[in-house]
Structure 1
Amino acid sequence: MLHDQMIDEPLERLRAAARRTRELALNRAATGLGHEDADDEVGTFGTDDALGFDPFPLLEALHRHGARAVVIGQVAGIMHGSAELTGDLDLLWDGAPAHAPALAAAFAAVGARLGDETGAPLATRPGSFLRPKVRFTSPGAGGDCCTPALPWGGLHVQGCLDRAITTVDAGGLEVRYVSREDLIRMRRALGRPKDLRRAAELEASKQRRPGSQASEDTSAK
């Protein structure tokens, strides 16, 4: 029964994963590495960004300011049931100039700092978000904030925004996150060891979900 409840509660699953990340990283020696330094096997869980990891202040700010960013990356994976922990929060938005002010206001509200792809500082203002990718750090989480202009291995990511899932918790927090199928496509397009491993995990869990063809075939035996 608990497993069924968790499937229906992606934000509660994310809260539990964030708590577990903080617990495991609590007594770990600092490395000086951030999310931009993560290796292709372990990911950001192995960096200092796992220390104090909490994506909810930024997710709540995005909700309050009406910024329609979509959660991607391993945070979305966790919301879909991935068992792997992470230390960063990656976001995708449509890149429309009219939507940039809400995004900038949300990031400013949590005291986020922005940088370009080389790490050079950027002001936390709407124009900074119009780049294909902006790096950010905030007290709870760092990561990348991307637009569809960022090359993604030939994948058309605009469609990922159109198919995003919306979930709302008991407190009214609304979060949009990429669909399982699109996240698998994004993982396979990137092709790093951690992406292929996590894509395989999501694919396997999809096959075990009630109502899937594989699940029906297994139950029929």
Structure 2
Amino acid sequence: MTQMIDEPLERLRAAARRTRELALSRPGTGLGHEDADDDVGTIGTDGALGFDPFPLLEALHHHGVRAVVIGQVAGIMHGSTELTGDLDLLWDGAPAGAPALAAAFTSVDAHLTDEAGRPLATHPDSFLRPKVGFTSPGAGGDCCTPALPWGDLHVREFLDHAITAVDPGGLEVHYVSREDLIRMRRAVGRPKDLRRADELDSDTGSG
């Protein structure tokens, strides 16, 4: 695992501030992150209101959880200029790690849902599903395991390739490598994913 310092986290902090400012300047949409348009993304939903992924990222670090940031938050950490209103995570799905994951989500008052949108208890067993949705005061999104289908990709390997950003206070945030994020984008294939994959492909100068 490659360790980097604070620049990717500073990019994320700046993007989260811009997201909150943008969301405050427009009427509410009534849409959650699960309602996001395949082109615009979650920046067009109320998930952007008050968007701040850091409370959950700090809780994961505090509880010793190695969850890897994927999706557009990872894209921003790699230098993407597109904003987002959600936080997506990938972890290895091992039952031994589920209690710490549940404790981290509980500490930020997160609420979980299954893939049909039905409420789930914030309990270790809930995180053993291929994907669980969550909302919290700072951010909503999906928390996935490698059991979630990604076409021909073996995303468990992506956990081993993940990069770690470290801020001066010691916060560690793990995020998917640029190459693996591009592969994930192209596998999903929505307009926003292909656009963002092209952006990362063409920008070789950012971390």
2:154 counterpart letter in structure 1: H
By how many angstroms is 1:28 displaced? 1.2
* Residues 1:181 and 1:62: Cα distance change in structure 2 (over 3 Å): same
TM-score (norm. length: structure 2): 0.96
1:173 matched to 2:161: no
1:92 matched to 2:84: no
TM-score (norm. length: structure 1): 0.90
2:20 counterpart letter in structure 1: R
By how many angstroms is 1:27 displaced? 2.1
Measure, in 2, the Cα distance between the counterparts of 1:47 and 1:198. Answer: 18
Q: Which runs of 5+ in 1 are unaligned?
A: 1-6, 211-221
The residue that corresponds to 2:37 in the other structure is 39
Residue pair 2:33, 2:42 contacting (<8 A) in 1 also: yes
Between the two proteins, the alignment pairs up a number of residues equal to: 203
Measure, in 2, the Cα distance between the counterparts of 1:12 and 1:36. Answer: 27
User: Secondary structure at the residue paired with 2:112?
Assistant: strand
1:24 counterpart letter in structure 2: L
Query: Of 146, 154, 158, which residue of structure 2 is paired with 1:156?
Result: 154
The residue that corresponds to 2:113 in the other structure is 115
**Deviation per residue, 1:92-121 (Å, 9 max, x gap):** 000000010110000000000000000100
User: Secondary structure at the residue paired with 2:150?
Assistant: coil
Residue pair 2:98, 2:128 contacting (<8 A) in 1 also: yes
Which residues in structure 2 correspond to 1:69-218 (within 5 Å)?
Answer: 69-206=67-204, 208=205
Structure 1 stretches of 4+ with a deviation exceeding 6 A read none
Q: Which runs of 5+ in 2 are unaligned?
A: none
Measure, in 1, the Cα distance between the counterparts of 2:71 and 2:143. Answer: 11
Structure with greater Cα Rg? 1
Residue pair 2:113, 2:134 contacting (<8 A) in 1 also: yes
**Deviation per residue, 1:112-157 (Å, 9 max, x gap):** 0000000100000100000000000000000000000000122110
1:142 counterpart letter in structure 2: G
By how many angstroms is 1:209 displaced? 5.7
Measure, in 2, the Cα distance between the counterparts of 1:103 and 1:76. Answer: 19
The residue that corresponds to 1:50 in the other structure is 48
Measure, in 2, the Cα distance between the counterparts of 1:54 and 1:181. Answer: 26
**Deviation per residue, 1:73-93 (Å, 9 max, x gap):** 000000000000000000000
By how many angstroms is 1:8 displaced? 6.2
How much identity, in percent, do the aligned residues show? 82
The residue that corresponds to 1:18 in the other structure is 16
1:169 counterpart letter in structure 2: D
CA RMSD in angstroms, aligned pairs only: 1.3
Measure, in 2, the Cα distance between the counterparts of 1:123 and 1:76. Answer: 27
User: Secondary structure at the residue paired with 2:20?
Assistant: helix
Measure, in 2, the Cα distance between the counterparts of 1:79 and 1:47. Answer: 21
